[in-house]
Amino acid sequence: MADNSRLSFILLMAVSSSLFMEPVFAQSASKLDRQGLDKKIFIGQAYPSGNVYLECFRSKTECQSSWPKELVILPLGDTSSALGKTRMKASFVKVMKDDLKNDGVRSIYIPGAEGMDADHESCGLGDIKKVEHHKYISEPLRDYFYAMVDHCEANAGVGIYQTAASTYSFAVLGIDPSIAVTGLRLLSGQRPVTPAERQEIDKEKRQRKAAGIECSTDPAYSDSATQIAEISLAEGDLALKVSTYETPGCDGHLSSVYILDVLQRDVLLRKLEVYRNQGAL
């Protein structure tokens, strides 16, 4: 009887401990969420010069006061054979500014200025050039800052960091060092769509139809997004998943959309998005 009583006590303590720990995980996830992951996670491109250009998952103007002194840089592609590592450190350099003239905004076409594209038209600032030994290694991901030959996207508010130079360019995620990363897993295939997202997509389609809006192109939605990578975090069973899709919108202006899902045990807690315009089709 004594052994049975002791076993019952141990089982009771184990159950009580698990019940106590569950709210701690939930609280940690909520705390990290409240801190604002959209102020601590950035997306962009690293170039052979060692320059890393990044945007946050908010508007560029809101990013300007949010840049950490250092970031952990995670390549969003299989770069291990070329770089030999999946994590790098980068130091903050500056926030980009555009030049305002009477005829409009003059900016830098980043891939051209970084020696990856000699065919793009000048956007007013920086030299357009192609260095032959510079290579992309994040295929099939296109350069985050890619734009059509005649399109110039404003870059005010884009953050520049510096990491080790190489001969390669690749898409990256920049993460504040206060967020402990435990792993990076490359993904493929379609991004799962939640029932709430499906309802929102269907609602938007119905509203457009009811308004009698006729599109010259067929808009795409998050249900067409392709998964890129998943980053495991040390805190609260959390993970970050990056996905992307392209949409011409309703009037033929092509954009790349990048989605950052904040997950806890595969349950979607938050969905952050950033759009990068490529130009008119």
pLDDT of 140-172, one tens digit each?
Answer: 678 999 999 999 999 999 999 999 999 999 999
Q: Where are the domains of the chain?
A: 1-35, 39-179, 183-280
In terms of Cα–Cα distance, which of 159, 46, 154 is closest to 105?
154
The whole-model pTM stands at 0.86
Residues 6+ apart with CB under 8 A from 17: none
- pLDDT of 11 over the 60 cut: no
pLDDT of 32-77, one tens digit each?
Answer: 654 577 788 999 999 999 999 999 887 666 676 679 999 999 999 8
Instruction: Yes or no: say if 280 and 148 are a contact pair by the CB < 8 Å rule.
Output: yes
Helix, strand, coil share (%) of the chain residues, nearest 5:
25, 35, 40
